[in-house]
Amino acid sequence: MSTQTQIPSYAEGLTELQNNLVTMLPQDALDVFEADANALKANHQNILKLNVGDKAPNFSLSNAIGETTTLQSLLEKGKVVLTFYRGSWCPYCNLQLNQYQQVLEDINSLGANLVAVSPQTPDESLNIKEKNELQFEVLSDNGNIVTRQFTTVFKNGETPIETMKALGIDFDSHYADDSQELPVPAVFIIEKDSTISFAKAIDGDYRNRVEASDIIYSLKK
């Protein structure tokens, strides 16, 4: 039974976040990130590697405190809402995961558990978990081994990485490898028999994310 939480709007949150970033970041940095996002949108059209009706492959990943978590063990408890994100340094990831936390009771009441996956180290997974007070599993997929089975993975550009560095963000320190690869954000709902019943990525522009309302609506169907 749903708790009828007020479902936050990512679109509204995005507008507020972008207005804040305009006041926080220099224009040349904003221009770099805008060009990067637009290029990613143009370059990545067919994002999802698995779609509705496909079987999700089992995986084994470390959570934020280094414990091993498998998809199979999660599915024994119920459906799984699986979301792939970039990292704790990404303001859009923080916004998305924070909003998903706000509807976590609804997700749980509809028979599902939420799990977030990124290529970050467990320490950085713990960082984003604590920063956003996340009460769901945040898993580390070093090298995007699992992630590339679900969604597109690409090498981050040198220009945005150098721009981040100039802003005091050490991109490479968040990851255990030096591939500089990131996932295109995507969300899947996996039924208890491993069948995917929901699969969505908005586009290659990392600023655009799946609304929490889409997840809740799909779980209610």
Catalytic choice (32, 71, 93, 164): 93
Q: Residue 103: beta bridge partners?
A: none
Tallying the residues shown for the chain, one arrives at 221
Calculate the alpha carbon distances from 204 to 19, 57, 212 in Å: 21, 23, 19
Calculate the alpha carbon distances from 78 to 19, 73, 83, 114 in Å: 39, 9, 16, 10
Go through 158-173 and write b for each residue having 16 or more CB atoms within 10 A of its CB, e for each that does not. eebbebbeeeeeebee
Q: Residue 213 in contact with residue 7, Cβ under 8 Å?
A: yes
State the Cα–Cα distance between residues 125 and 88, nearest whole angstrom: 7
State the Cα–Cα distance between residues 215 and 221, nearest whole angstrom: 10
Calculate the alpha carbon distances from 195 to 52, 53, 105, 109, 169 in Å: 8, 6, 23, 20, 39
What one-character-per-residue DSSP string does 98-116 give? HHHHHTHHHHHHTTEEEEE
90 is catalytic: no
Q: Which residue has the tokens 């007020």?
A: 6
The catalytic residues are 93
